[in-house]
Structure 1
Amino acid sequence: MAIVPKIFSSRSGQEGDFFLAVKKILGFKPKDISIYEKAFTHRSLNEKNSEGQPQNYERLEFLGDAMLGSVIASHLYVQVPGGDEGYLTKMRSKVVSREHLNELGRDLNLIKLLKTNIPTKQFGGNVHGNIFEALVGAIYLDRGYKYCEKFIHKRVIKPYVDIERLEGKVISYKSLFIEWCQKHKKTFKYVVYDDTGNDELKHFAVRLQLDNTTVAKARATSKKKAEERASKRAYYKLQVAIEKDLN
């Protein structure tokens, strides 16, 4: 049975609960509320239109990702006239990082509007960012580029994009650690193994070895997350040497 928020009970009404909730998030009136309904529909419902095409947020998520990149790139191009292509690309990546998009989705509590067959507590953290991207895509389809740009400036750029703060933000500690190792021709290895703890979800544990010496350990629900956590711990353990070499 579909887990449908009560807010969806007035789907057809232009002044229904869902319409008003979306309007509050956007700061302006939606023209076609059905686009936003799709942006908050999870694939687990297996909804399709009359032509048999899936009706969920995934295609809107793809579109929203592109729109976010476009608006953020334009903003950085204007605000940092001295930044070269590599610098601007790195800064844009920091703004639209998965971690940041998830934070944006959580701040707006978008998951409360999600229509799904799966209990929301079972979703991973990325669902928040996915819905946020889908919402941006819906705005573009419903109201065009200008309204999409306005929303991104209000919800992303104005409260979160601080050039100086972004310059010091690390996107991936693993990439930073590997870059430092390669620069100094140091050998490193991530030793990954199953963690047979008492947690309900399966965990992975990682030992990060530097020149055959373990410098950090970590565990998480995926190998990627465990490696990133171990890298972060290694980074802070070796922070003085790494920052001296890479800055």
Structure 2
Amino acid sequence: MLRLFLGKKRSKGDLAVISFMVKKFGYRPKDLELFTRALTHKSYSNTKDELKSNERLEYLGDTVIDLIVADYLFDKFPDKDEGFLTKVKAKIVNRKMLAAIGAEIGIAKHIRYKTGRSIRIATIEGNAFEALIGAIYLDSNFEITKKVFNTRIIRNYINLNEVLEQEIDFKSALLIWGQKNKLQIEYRITEEASRENDYLYTSVVVINDKKWGLGKGKSKKEAEQQASNETLELLGLQ
């Protein structure tokens, strides 16, 4: 009866996850199962019928992070246009940055995955980080998740000045990759729409006659940059 009153007895693993979330995110989980799932890679869940991997939570977390960062930059730079905001957001939410954050907070030691396989630790760190943000969102709400991300992640792990100093040229990066791999890359403007005395261009990247990323912008150059950025993401190059 006393155990029922006090609640379910926690295992060492459960306590480690709770401690990790409190220390690194300033958040105490209510539904702990969400967070253990967020830290479960498919290589581990595939070995046990009752377990679910973190893939769905990763998908959700990716979307939540994208919105939080977009909202943060929108308030941070009230005088900047959509092109600037999109480029800066892309540098913050890309796979490399999220994997680096995951590594810095020490997420790897809490991830359940099957060893002895050709698994890139950096990849599963970034994915698990996104999944944890998805778990926080489901365990609370958007406003709390936004507060956690802004105060614990952006403030402690993202150097915005350093991000702004980096030259963002997605098109050059894509073309260099294409040259190295002997692939033909071209850009096609698929639409030119007039909008309040201004033009909005839509560009698509075509690699060896196959369409990849789409981009929109007030100039052809901006549209091509955004199309290149989406293509790099689709190819898993950032």
- Whether these two folds match at TM > 0.5 is yes
Q: Indicate the TM-score class for this superposition, using the shorter chain for normalisation.
A: 0.5 to 0.7
2:20 aligned residue = 21
Change beyond 3 A, Cα 1:64–1:177: closer
Structure 1 residues 120-131: aligned runs within 5 Å: 122-131=119-128
For residue 23 of structure 1, report the CA deviation from its aligned partner: 2.5
Change beyond 3 A, Cα 1:57–1:78: same
1:42 aligned residue = 41
Q: Which of 92, 97, 103 is the equivalent residue of 2:94? A: 97
For residue 147 of structure 1, report the CA deviation from its aligned partner: 1.9
Change beyond 3 A, Cα 1:48–1:90: farther
The count of aligned residue pairs is: 174
Query: 1 CA distance for matches of 2:128 and 2:174?
Result: 32
Query: 2 CA distance for matches of 1:152 and 1:68?
Result: 8
1:176 aligned residue = 172
Whether contact under 8 Å (2:38, 2:57) holds in the other structure is yes
For residue 38 of structure 1, report the CA deviation from its aligned partner: 0.3
Whether contact under 8 Å (1:41, 1:57) holds in the other structure is yes
What secondary structure is seen at the aligned counterpart in 2 of 1:29? coil
Letter in 2 for 1:104: I
Whether contact under 8 Å (1:61, 1:135) holds in the other structure is yes
For residue 62 of structure 1, report the CA deviation from its aligned partner: 0.7
Residue by residue over 1:69-127, the C-alpha shift from the partner in whole angstroms, topping out at 9 and shown as x without a partner, is: 11110111111111111111111001111111011000011110111222488434221
Whether contact under 8 Å (1:39, 1:134) holds in the other structure is yes
What secondary structure is seen at the aligned counterpart in 2 of 1:116? coil
Query: 1 CA distance for matches of 2:134 and 2:125?
Result: 15
Whether contact under 8 Å (2:100, 2:122) holds in the other structure is no
Residue by residue over 1:181-225, the C-alpha shift from the partner in whole angstroms, topping out at 9 and shown as x without a partner, is: 9xxxxxx83256xxxxxxxxxxxxxxxxxxxxxxxxxxxxxxx89
Provide structure 1 residue ranges, at least 5 long, that are not aligned to the other structure: 1-7, 182-187, 193-223, 229-247
Q: Which of 55, 77, 83 is the equivalent residue of 1:80? A: 77
Whether contact under 8 Å (2:101, 2:157) holds in the other structure is no
Query: 2 CA distance for matches of 1:175 and 1:44?
Result: 35
- Please tell me the root mean square deviation across aligned C-alpha atoms, in Å: 3.0
Is 1:136 matched with 2:133?
yes
Structure 1 residues 100-119: aligned runs within 5 Å: 100-119=97-116
For residue 35 of structure 1, report the CA deviation from its aligned partner: 0.4
Give identity over the alignment, percent: 29
